Amino acid sequence: MEFFLQLFFQGLSIGFLYALAALGFVMIFKSSSVLNFAHGELLAIGAFIFLVLAAWLKLPIWIAFLITIIGSFALGFIIERLFLRPLIGEALIEVIMLTVGLAAMFKGIMLFIFGGNLHSYPDFLPKNLTIQMGNINIPPVYVATFMIGLIFLVIFGLFFKYSSQGIYMRSVADNQPAALSLGVHVRRVFALSWAIAALVCGMSGIILGIINGINVHNLSHVGLKVFPVVILGGLESIGGAIIGGLIIGLLETFTGGYISTSLREIVPYIILVLILLVKPYGLFGLVEIERV
């Protein structure tokens, strides 16, 4: 029972992290119907920015974190302005292929600068974050992941529900022509969606770097796990992304703990195939009916 509880808490922590990463993916898809294949590379960029600031330049951790978040947010704006905006009105497949090209470009640049080796952050998490109950020992990294994931999911939830920009983003996601007719600046919403998605990726990359170390290939691969999460929850559902992230995180952790650590890596994709076969629109996705 103690082993089960330890795996359960670790699974929740990883699940909140997946949910946070998937949130950015869903935001971009809801606002512009674009599948962002550069999601994993944005995770890696955030992780490496924090590595340079915290480990190489020796800046205080909170300053390094703040600069990384601001830099990731600005990067999202730049990507949308330089690469995505010129393709507004073009075929959707062209925009999707652009994100594939961006993924390859970002990955190549990071490999050129940092190489393919595993890097690590300095140990900065306070030891008193450890949860010790009998034989149950939850390391500080999982406690911090759980807390950060939960806090930021609540913040983003309140932002989407109550802020004017969040309401604009939801209106564009629901009906772009109607939003335009009401005076919503759709291009500004697109830019904000990419900026927040990049911010979320940067934050997720930092947490993943604390857990597993920083490696370009590994972080890019984690970006692919966003697809099972969002397909499970429903491509256009923010709440579904959270539920999907928790489910995938728990399944991964229990599979690695009770069955095999190697099998753990393929569990998200098994779920992806099953969901596509049984319920293609996900748990909370909307079925679209086209009338001819």
Helix 164-174 to helix 2-32 angle (10° resolution) is: 70
Is residue 124 situated within a structural domain? no
Amino acid found at 224: L
Is residue 246 situated within a structural domain? no
Is residue 257 situated within a structural domain? no
- Say what the pTM is: 0.86
Is residue 43 situated within a structural domain? yes
Is residue 235 situated within a structural domain? no
Closest CA to 188 of 204, 201, 171: 171
Counted domains in the chain = 1
pLDDT tens sequence for the chain (292 residues): 778 888 888 888 888 888 888 888 887 887 777 888 898 999 999 999 999 999 999 999 999 999 999 999 999 999 989 998 888 777 778 888 999 999 999 999 999 999 989 998 888 888 787 877 777 778 888 888 888 878 887 887 787 777 777 777 767 666 666 676 767 777 788 888 889 889 989 988 998 888 888 999 888 888 788 888 888 887 777 778 888 888 998 999 999 888 888 788 888 888 888 888 888 777 776 555 444 4
Is residue 40 situated within a structural domain? yes
Q: Which domain holds residue 25?
A: 15-118+134-223
Is residue 192 situated within a structural domain? yes
Is residue 260 situated within a structural domain? no
DSSP annotation string for the chain? -HHHHHHHHHHHHHHHHHHHHHHHHHHHHHHH----TTHHHHHHHHHHHHHIIIIIS---HHHHHHHHHHHHHHHHHHHIIIIIGGGTTS-HHHHHHHHHHHHHHHHHHHHHHH-SS-B-----S-GGG-EEETTEEE-HHHHHHHHHHHHHHHHHHHHHHHSHHHHHHHHHHH-HHHHHHTT--HHHHHHHHHHHHHHHHHHHHHHHHHHH-B-HHHHHHHHHTHHHHHHHH-TT-HHHHHHHHHHHHHHHHHHHHHT-HHHHTTHHHHHHHHHHHH-TTTTTPPPP----
